[in-house]
Amino acid sequence: MRAAVIIPARYASTRFPGKPLVPLLGKPMLAWVVEAALRAEGVGEVLVATDDERIADAAGAAGATPVMTPSTCQTGTDRVALAAKTSTAEIIVNLQGDEPAINPENITTLIKVLEDDPEVPLATLSRPLSDPAELWSPDTVKVVSTRAGDALYFSRQPIPYFREAWRGREGNSPAPESSIQPLGHVGIYAFRRAALFAFTDLSRTPLEEAEELEQLRALESGWRIRVAPSLPPWPAGVDNPQDVERAEKALRELYGSGVA
């Protein structure tokens, strides 16, 4: 089944204008994301959905196909859906343009989830979460799943809540030794083509608005979201200029001697 990776990337950013073009180890950040997608097994094409000609030029130079989308797109997923109309791929991977150290094998994992189970409309990734600072940070999204691997809930708060271990010690405590491993959400998604267009047609939902987590729209609408384990490095997203050094370190960890 042919898959396309679509990377939403816009120039305007409140915290970090021009973020997709910031140099990391001598290359624009967007180029690292594109190259990771091109390395992933099962990917037939890589597109960059953008509203800026500078980003479009960088995407083309990195080997992706740029697709111009309106600056009025409300979300990255809306931008991805518009770009997907230029492709015939049956699986669409929404890969964020600010995750330069994404492991290509994680993209392949998501594609295989949809290939292996035709009943799953949408898939995403998780990672082990052990650092108490991340566990209690609202900037780190947490996920809990069924035994079959389908998401039960995503939250900015620690889930599950270990009642006996944490009561009265909220905010700085590690998870207790348990058969339950707290999981962080890795924000990359694979949609079936029809599911992507159906998702962007849905209205925002109360839980989505409360937590500001777009994936809750799918859960509130009764969708299954399969959550697959991912491989390191995690995480190395770039939200502001202070994250550049951490992202470069993650790139060296992932590619070793293959980078400067």
Q: Are 50 and 12 in contact (CB under 8 A)?
A: no
Sequence-ordered list of residues with C-beta below 8 angstroms from that of 52, at least 6 positions apart, any chain: 9, 10, 11
Write the pLDDT tens digit of every residue in 134-172. 999 998 999 999 999 999 999 999 999 999 889 888 788
Give Cβ neighbours of residue 22 (< 8 Å, ≥ 6 apart): 16, 28, 29, 238, 241, 244
For residue 258, is pLDDT > 80?
no
Residue at 114 is within a domain: yes
- Residue 189 carries which DSSP code? E
> What pLDDT is stored for residue 235 in this prediction?
67
Taking 70 as the threshold, does the pLDDT of residue 50 lie above it?
yes
Q: For 169-205, write each residue's pLDDT tens digit.
A: 878 889 998 889 999 999 999 999 999 999 999 999 9
> Residue 82 domain-assigned?
yes
Model pTM score:
0.94
Is 237 domain-assigned? yes
Total domains in the chain come to 1
What does the pLDDT average to over 109-121? 97
Q: Is residue 225 situated within a structural domain?
A: yes
Domain assignment of residue 105, given as a range? 3-255
Residue 260 belongs to some domain of the structure: no
| 99 φψ region: left (φ > 0), alpha (ψ -120 to 50), beta (else) | beta
Does 61 reside within a domain? yes
CATH number at residue 120: 3.90.550.10
CA dist 65 and 45 (Å) reads 8
> What is the average pLDDT score of the chain?
93
Cα distance between residue 36 and residue 93, in whole Å: 13
Domain annotation covers residue 145: yes
Residue 200 lies in a domain: yes
